[in-house]
Amino acid sequence: MQSAASPNGTRQRLLPTLRRWFDTGVASDAGLEPAAARRIDWLRALPFAGLHLGCLGVIWVGASWTAVTVALLLYAVRMFAITGFYHRYFSHRTFQASRPVQFAFAVIGAASVQRGPLWWAAHHRHHHRHADQALDPHSPREAGFWRSHMGWFLTRGAFATDFARIPDLARFAELRWLDRYDTVVPLLLAAGLYGLGEALQAFAPALGTDGPQLLVWGFFISTVVLFHATVTINSLAHQYGTRRFETADDSRNNPWLALLTFGEGWHNNHHFFPGTVRQGFRWWEIDMTWYGLRMLAALRLVHGLKPIPAWVLAKARS
């Protein structure tokens, strides 16, 4: 922590770091030494800490069925955008969508506060290429649970988007914009929830909610639960569950994580063959994202859903 902890080093990095909270395009920490890249950037991680502290607001705002319902709905819609689009579409290209549909779900994904779609896909492709090896950004094998779960997300080296890994996505200007200003959509969501809560208090007081309450439940609590549910796939789904396929990594199939993450818990299936839109490979392996994508396909919003090849199922041990 030499340079970051010393008063001079902190002062030198303060302004660029504050700017990077809002504009990730500000000259990044590219070319860091590996040891420096692995260190947590505490200053830049403050908004992430603030997101968690915001949940404590529940002490003052209390709860209502309206607020809890909004939190659940926002969890579901954003989890679908993360697994269906950030993961299965942008990272793995397992189906096709028009440019407007692609953008619409990139915006909903960005509302999850898991950075932009290009950042997400670039890191995830890197994970598959080096799963549970030295270059994997979030393997629990050496680094342990907390680093694989969230520590890696806050390291200096993890903030930049490596465009070399996502040339197919970087050609879309609107996606690059969303990725660069990745706090815009979350701030709009927070402001929108506050405004909605205030409007409901004025025009539908029977619903028993208000601006601060919808902000705490719909934004802070829903987003924090969504984040920790998503990253269980990096931490727990590489440690706990069964292995249907012989893969070089430690990925597991875990039905509980699959329920929580709308299908992502079938992670050993996914690591063995990431080229299909499905992650549950058997009919009883509940995969909510796949059902949702089939619905979008029936509505002609997406197409070309890639199936599981027969040779993949032939290699299954169960």
Cα–Cα distances in angstroms (integers) from residue 88 to residues 133, 141, 181, in the given order: 22, 25, 23
- Considering the complex, what minimum distance in angstroms separates the CB of residue 271 from Zn ion? 6
Contact in structure between 218 and 74 (CB atoms under 8 Å)? yes
- Considering the complex, what minimum distance in angstroms separates the CB of residue 94 from Zn ion? 10
Phi, psi (deg, nearest 5) at residue 261: -110, 20
Judged by beta carbon, residue 210 or residue 264, the one nearer Zn ion is 264
**103-122 footprint of Zn ion as x/- string (CB under 5 A):** --------------------
Structure token digits, residue 262: 């709308």
**249-288 footprint of Zn ion as x/- string (CB under 5 A):** -------------------------x--------------
Crossing angle (nearest 10°) for helices 65-80 and 288-298: 80
Q: Residues touching Zn ion: how many (CB under 5 A)? A: 1
- Considering the complex, what minimum distance in angstroms separates the CB of residue 227 from Zn ion? 17
Judged by beta carbon, residue 24 or residue 148, the one nearer Zn ion is 148
183-212 residues in contact with Zn ion (CB under 5 A) are none
Structure token digits, residue 251: 């990925």
Query: Which residues are CB-neighbours of 142 under 8 A, at least 6 positions away?
Result: 134
How far apart CA 110 and CA 264 sit, in angstroms, is: 19
Judged by beta carbon, residue 54 or residue 274, the one nearer Zn ion is 274
Name the residue whose CB lies closest to Zn ion.
274
Structure token digits, residue 29: 């920490």
Judged by beta carbon, residue 66 or residue 254, the one nearer Zn ion is 254
Residues at the interface with Zn ion (CB under 5 A): 274
